[in-house]
Amino acid sequence: MIFQKKASHFVIAVLFLVGGLAPFALRQYQVAMLTEIIFFALYAVSYNLLLGYAGLLSFGHAMFFGTGAFTAAVALVCIPGISIWSDIFLAVLMAILVGLVVGSLLLRTKGAYFALLTLAFNSLFYVVATKWSSVTGGDDGLSITRPNISIGSITIQLAGITSFYYFTLVIIGMAIVFCWYFTHTAMGRTVLLIRENEERMNFLGYNTHISRLLLFVFTGAAAGLAGAFYSLHFQFVSISAISVDMTTTVLLMAFVGGTGTFWGPILGTFVYIIVQSYLSDLTDHWPLFMGLIFVFMVLVMPGGLSQIIQKIPGVFSGKSGDEPGDRVVTEETIL
Amino acid sequence: MTDCLEIIDVYKDYSGLAVLSGVQFTVKRKERHAVIGPNGAGKTTLFNIISGKFRASSGTIRFKGQDISRKSAYALNRLGISRSFQITNVFQELSVFENIRSGVRSRYGLRYHFLRKPDSNARINERTAAIAENLGLKDVLHVPVSALSYGQQRALEIGIALSTDPDLILLDEPTAGMTREETVQAIETIDRVTAGLTLIIIEHDMDVVFSLADTISVLHYGKILISGAPDIIRSDQRVKDAYLGEDHL
Ligand SMILES: Nc1ncnc2c1ncn2[C@@H]1O[C@H](COP(=O)(O)OP(=O)(O)OP(=O)(O)O)[C@@H](O)[C@H]1O
Ligand SMILES: [Mg+2]
């Protein structure tokens, strides 16, 4: 396992600490890039709850991300003076609604049908976003201005790169920590048990369709939150936010990092964003190279980067403090 | 009302192949009821219908007086019906503890909670450990199923069935693949851990069946040939002809 339970607390603390200090050591454009890494990491983590934990291959995660991104942007345009909290809340709410509607329609599907139907729904959302240009801005996209935070009489400026970075670190950071916590909750374990043996779960009193729906909605809400930060960060949103490309992006991030662990996709996002920014400076054909890297990864190390790290003995692993001798697959491969 | 389960005129066919054609018998509360019959007689199919895996083509099933013919598996489990499988059907990659706890926490209503952790629920963990201990799995509590011996896996199969605290437990050939001694041992364990529950067991070993069961139902060509106390079954000519060899009598 990449991080043991106690070690996970430590890693979370270190990540927040490093994240808190990073702006002092980085240039502005790097701080902006780190902001991007953080909300994309939530996007990838939420995706991996479907793929790695529940074993559900979805090609439709961008419909949540895009819904969050567009809702946040459209609300800022249409509701003058809306607070950033209400804006984010609306974005997540819309993602939840999308999850409930689409999820109910996909309730009984799994495997290839599930993958294809999510792809179809994502394409549908993309078409709607393109055609509904009076609201979404169509091909031109929507420009917005990030609002400030006001708590009572105190106002925190969010216009600056660094202040928005800290806002992202706290809010998205907490969301990622909650996702990690989720994997230990009753629901988190249920999802995993269903992946292992859905039939037996039925005979133990679990409604597995409802479980999948709940997970779908939850991961959708998290992706929607990430999408809202995407809009707020770039102060711009275009239909690429809801395109199938955006789904491919999250698939790549998760795969590069490794879907067998909780933290893998975060690592994957980090590497993905940095490599992408590096490549796109060098060549316009960067998607081609990203594609080649992906093919290479899948062929050579299907477990992703975290698999390599796991193989370096003693780097991250120690003896588990909580459950001695517990060699459960879920603790082993998915923590 | 002393009947736990009433099976009334149940038919089942798989796209034309008639497997059950008018099965009828009742199981009293706290009864130890054995279902016997040759291979392919439809015993597992009957369990699949009672437990909600499949629906009967026609007929009615009542559990404690309530018609349950149209209920799904998870709902039936919550009503108090639990089952084991002829072919071990557990969570292979997970520990014995988590296997059993899956049912225990279901029984305690901790199924879909987004905040509460099963790890920090003492009652659930104690109950889980107690079930494992009862079945002799205490020493392998944190071992993944794939590392267990066959006998331990069969014990776990029963442990999972017990984990939701059922009123009615259906055990489908719990001793399948065991030697004679292992079978006798396993039946003793089953008799002990299911004390106080209504038990329906499918079992091929006749000596075991006659010593364990209060009532035996003989399933033959999709119908119940006869259902009654071991003595009656033993002396029934039709059963002799159809199923039991002379050496059993
Ligand atoms: N899902 C299914 N689809 C089609 N036919 C089935 C199905 N399940 C069982 N059958 C058929 O129904 C008949 C009865 O099968 P069943 O498994 O109920 O018998 P059984 O009495 O449990 O036998 P055994 O002692 O071998 O376990 C068999 O002919 C079997 O092939
Ligand atoms: Mg059978």
Each residue of A119-134: pLDDT tens digit? 999 999 999 998 888 8
The pLDDT of residue B38 is above 60: yes
Residue of B nearest to A210 (CA): B112
Q: What does the pLDDT read at residue B171?
A: 96
A184 in reach of chain B (CB within 8 A): yes
Cβ(B44) – ligand 1 distance below 6 Å: yes
Query: In this model, does residue A94 exceed pLDDT 70?
Result: yes
The secondary structure of residue A313, as a DSSP letter, is: T
Percent of all residues in chain B with a pLDDT value above 70, rounded to a whole number: 96
Which residue in A190, A326, A329 is closest to B93 by CB distance?
A329
What is the SS3 assignment for chain B? CCEEEEEEEEEEEECCEEEEEEEEEEEECCCEEEEECCCCCCHHHHHHHHCCCCCCCEEEEEECCEECCCCCHHHHHHHCEEECCCCCCCCCCCEHHHHHHHHHHHHCCCCCCCCCCHHHCHHHHHHHHHHHHHCCCHHHCCCEHHHCCHHHHHHHHHHHHHCCCCCEEEEECCCCCCCHHHHHHHHHHHHHHCCCCEEEEECCCHHHHHHHCCEEEEEECCEEEEEECHHHHHHCHHHHHHCCCHHHC
pLDDT at A281: 86
What is the per-residue pLDDT for A313? 53
pLDDT tens per residue across span A150-192: 777 788 788 788 999 999 999 999 999 999 999 999 999 999 9
Domain limits of chain A? 2-243
Q: What is the pLDDT of residue B1?
A: 55
- Nearest listed ligand to the Cα of residue B219: 1
List the single residue in B with minimal CA-CA distance to A213. Answer: B112
Compare CB distances from A186 to B72, B89, B113 and report the shortest one's residue.
Answer: B113
Overall average pLDDT of the A238-248 stretch: 91
pLDDT above 60: residue A333: no
Ligand 1 centroid vs B53 CA: distance in angstroms? Answer: 13
Instruction: Give the model's confidence band at A259: pLDDT under 50 very low, under 70 low, under 90 confident, else very high.
Output: confident
A178–chain B nearest CA distance, Å: 9
Q: Is B43 in the pocket of ligand 1 (CB under 6 A)?
A: yes
Out of B72, B98, B114, closest to residue A182 by CB: B114
Does any ligand 1 atom lie closer than 6 A to the CB of residue B217? Answer: no
Q: Do B94 and A327 touch (CB under 8 A)?
A: no
Span from the CA of A205 to the centroid of ligand 2 (angstroms): 23
pLDDT of A57 higher than 70: yes
Confidence band for A320, pLDDT divided at 50, 70 and 90: very low
pLDDT, mean over chain B: 92
Whole-model pTM over 0.95 = no
A-chain residue closest to B76, CA distance: A205
The answer to whether the CB atoms of B164 and A204 lie below 8 A apart is yes
Q: Which atom of ligand 1 sits closest to the CA of residue B86?
A: 27
**Residue B184 pLDDT exceeds 60:** yes
Query: Given pLDDT bands bounded at 50, 70 and 90, which one contains residue A322?
Result: very low
Average model confidence (pLDDT) across chain A: 87
pLDDT in tens, A207-216: 999 999 999 9
CA distance A65 to chain B (A): 22
Residues of A in Cβ contact (< 8 Å) with B142: 323-328
